[in-house]
Amino acid sequence: METFSTIKQMRSASREARRRGLRMGLVPTMGALHAGHLSLVRAAKAQADIVAVSIFVNPTQFGPTEDLAKYPRPFETDRVQLEQEGVDILFAPTVDEMYRPGATTYVTVEGMSDRLCGKSRPGHFRGVTTVVSKMFNIAEPDMAFFGQKDAAQLAIIRRMVHDLDLPVKIMGCPIIREPDGLAMSSRNAYLTPPQRQAALILHHTLREMKSAFNRGERRPAELIDVGKHCFQEEPSARLDYLQVVDPDSLEAVDEIAAPALVAIAGYIGTTRLIDNQMLKP
C-alpha cells in the first residue's frame, strides 16, 4: 500500500491508474476504522481495480462545541488494517494541505443540508460536501463508497454529484451492526460500558417502529409516537430527532406510500449517535 499525504501525489497516482485503464474506487473516511469502514473497503475491492482510502478528520464538518479535538485518530492501527485489506492507496493529508490558508470556498446542497443532522449541527453537511467534492477533485475516482448509516450524508452527496455533474458513481453500502444491533460508529469508542448498553435504545426504537409498521401502521406521526415512547424507556438517553422522511429529499412525509427513511439521533451522555432504517410498504 502506498501512503500519500500530498494532493500532488494522490492526483498523479490516480492519473497513472487511469492511463493504465484501471477503475479507481475511493472510500473517504475520518479514520478510527471499524467493521463498517472495512465493509466499504471490501465493496470497493469487489468492484474497482484499484482502491484508495482517505483518512482525514475534516474540521469544517465539526461545530465549534463538537468533538473535533478528541475525535479518535489511531492512525497506525488504521494503516495496518487497510494494508491487511489489500488497499492500494492511503491518502492522509494534513489540514493545511486540504485547506490552504485563506480558503473561503464551500460546496453546499441547499435545503437538504438543513434537514436531520443538518438542523442540529448547522454547517455540518456544508463541511461534508466541501471535503467530499475536494476528495473527488483530487482523487478523480470512478466510484466512491459511503455507508447507509449516514443516510442523510449519502442522500446529500448523491444530490451534489447529480447537480454538479461530477463523473463519479456513488455506491451506498448497508449498515454494519454489532451482534446486539448497535450500529457501528467511530463514536461508540466514547461510550462507557453502561452507556454502551444504553445506546441500544436507538436500535430498539427503530425496531419497535418497524414492528408497528409491519402491523399495518402507515402514519408517520403514529410511528413516531411509538418510537418516542420506546426511547423514553432509557432514562440516560436524550432524543435529538426522530423523523420519517423521503430518502432522496429528506423531507418529512405524511403517509408511507413509498419507501421511507426513519432517522434517529440521540445523546448518550455527551456522545451523539445516529441510526436509521428503511420502511418499505
- Chain contacts with ligand PAF (rule: CB under 6 A): 28-30, 58, 61, 128, 131-132, 150, 153
Q: Which residues are catalytic?
A: 37
- Closer CB to ligand PAF, 29 or 113, in the complex: 29
The cell for 119 is 438542523
Q: How far apart are CA 215 and CA 209, in angstroms?
A: 10
Q: In terms of DSSP bridges, do strands 24-29 and 2-4 run parallel, antiparallel, or are they unpaired?
A: unpaired
- Could you tell me the smallest distance in angstroms from the CB atom of residue 191 to ligand PAF? 18
Residue 253: CA count within 13 A, CB half-sphere = 21
Query: Cα dist. 190→61, 132, 187, 195, 199 in Å?
Result: 19, 25, 6, 9, 11
- Could you tell me the smallest distance in angstroms from the CB atom of residue 161 to ligand PAF? 13
- Closer CB to ligand PAF, 57 or 200, in the complex: 57
- Closer CB to ligand PAF, 82 or 128, in the complex: 128
Q: How far apart are CA 57 and CA 65, in angstroms?
A: 16
| Residue 171 CB contacts under 8 Å (≥ 6 apart), including other chains | 25, 43, 44, 47, 143, 144, 145, 146
- Closer CB to ligand PAF, 61 or 277, in the complex: 61
- Could you tell me the smallest distance in angstroms from the CB atom of residue 75 to ligand PAF? 15
- Could you tell me the smallest distance in angstroms from the CB atom of residue 162 to ligand PAF? 17
- Write down the residue that cell numbers 488504521 correspond to: 78
